[in-house]
Amino acid sequence: MPITILMPALSPTMTEGNLAKWHKKEGDKVKAGDLIAEIETDKAIMEVEAVDEGILGRILVPEKTENVKVNQVIALILEEGEAASSLDDFKVAQEATPKAPNTADIVVLNQVSTQKTSVINTQENRIFASPLAKRIASQKNIALDAIQGSGPHGRIIRQDVENYKPLQKTTNASAELIPHTLMRKTIAKRLVEAKSTIPHFYLTLDCDITDLVALRAQFNALKEDQKISINDFLIRASALALQKVPEVNASWSDEGIIRHPTSDVSVAVSVPNGLITPIIFNAHDRNVSDISVQMKDYVVRAKLSKLKPEEYQGGTFSLSNLGMFGIKDFAAIINPPQSAILAVGAGIEMPVAKNGAIVIRSMMSCTLSVDHRVIDGSMGAQFLATFKNLVENPLSLLS
């Protein structure tokens, strides 16, 4: 019996993904460890490796197909000695709801699951098409769910595939419709949810980072092989402030407020298709150099869509820094289920009063967005004051 390759669940909350690319074609030999496909989730592109040997007999889901359900059969592998004709009679079992895979039949490799037993799909996920129509659609990289079948009971036949013309993606001569990526859809959904359900309020103050800038320059002069950024110091300052004001290091739940023991700081990183927030776990226990190395690695892999789900899912607090773009100040949207996010702007030299004299100092605007269900104004203000004290006394960040 052919071995089924399933659409894997790459995170606990994943229900669907995009089949970005096939690295094998029908008829190719496959052995354990071979890279066979790439799956695009809302945050990353993950590689699927084979765990069985055989011949890739049939691709059921063409590459570039969007919204493929988890546990849907995406391809079939012929075992040794198995004839290709056995695929003609192969059917995926159908029930009203998907059946959870038996853990005894699953092998996990690089966060990808495959299963040798047949997979149960919902009836709505079943696309009725002739084998020839499926083969032509696969060769032309056409998603079958985009085709209206003209055969009996809506079955897709060869002529339907050959006559298919994709919809125009432009609405007029001057406007272009750019399809949403899975990441952009997820970002939109989460931001609407956050802004609609979390009662935001905002607290802003300015931090004098003149001494911090000087300390960073001294640090980098001594270690030419490792350059520390201002953001690395701010991650450390945020983590220490959370330990000093633990009421802010919390999340809302219907049962009660969840107080987190560790400062796991999510850091906003811009990527080509949107935004991702890799996490510096236990940032309060890590020195600035360690944080810097971790962030550089995160940024490189984030832009390549190579972060693992456990590296960006979770976190107890978020930091968003737009200072490198010259932004003076802004207010960020809370990243649920967290209860606060700190938005920092650029360090700008300006005249300020200090000890009865006007001096030029480098000032940085910081805005804390707070979930009022969890954190009151006075507690948010206490956190910001603690953060400010740490930043304005930067030697405390090196201890």
What is the model's pLDDT at position 198?
96
Cβ neighbours, 10 Å, residue 362 = 18
What is the model's pLDDT at position 92?
56
pLDDT of 286 higher than 70: yes
Per annotation, catalytic residue among 23, 180, 284, 372:
372
Of residues 295 and 272, the one with the higher pLDDT is 295
Contacts of residue 324, Cβ cutoff 8 Å, sequence gap at least 6: 346
pLDDT of 182 higher than 50: yes
pLDDT of 119 higher than 70: no
Of residues 177 and 248, the one with the higher pLDDT is 248
What is the model's pLDDT at position 105?
33
Contacts of residue 380, Cβ cutoff 8 Å, sequence gap at least 6: 201, 203, 248, 340, 368, 370
Do residues 283 and 235 make contact, with C-beta atoms less than 8 angstroms apart?
Answer: yes
Do residues 129 and 149 make contact, with C-beta atoms less than 8 angstroms apart?
Answer: yes
Cβ neighbours, 10 Å, residue 368 = 23
**Cα–Cα nearest to 219, from 207, 206, 232:** 232
What is the model's pLDDT at position 345?
97
Q: Give the bridge partners for 348, in sequence order.
A: 363
- Let me know if 372 is a catalytic residue: yes
pLDDT of 390 higher than 50: yes
Q: What pLDDT, in 10s, does the model give residues 9-35?
A: 877 778 888 998 999 999 899 888 888
What is the model's pLDDT at position 173?
62
pLDDT band with cut points at 50, 70 and 90 for residue 102: very low
pLDDT band with cut points at 50, 70 and 90 for residue 399: confident
pTM for the full predicted model: 0.67
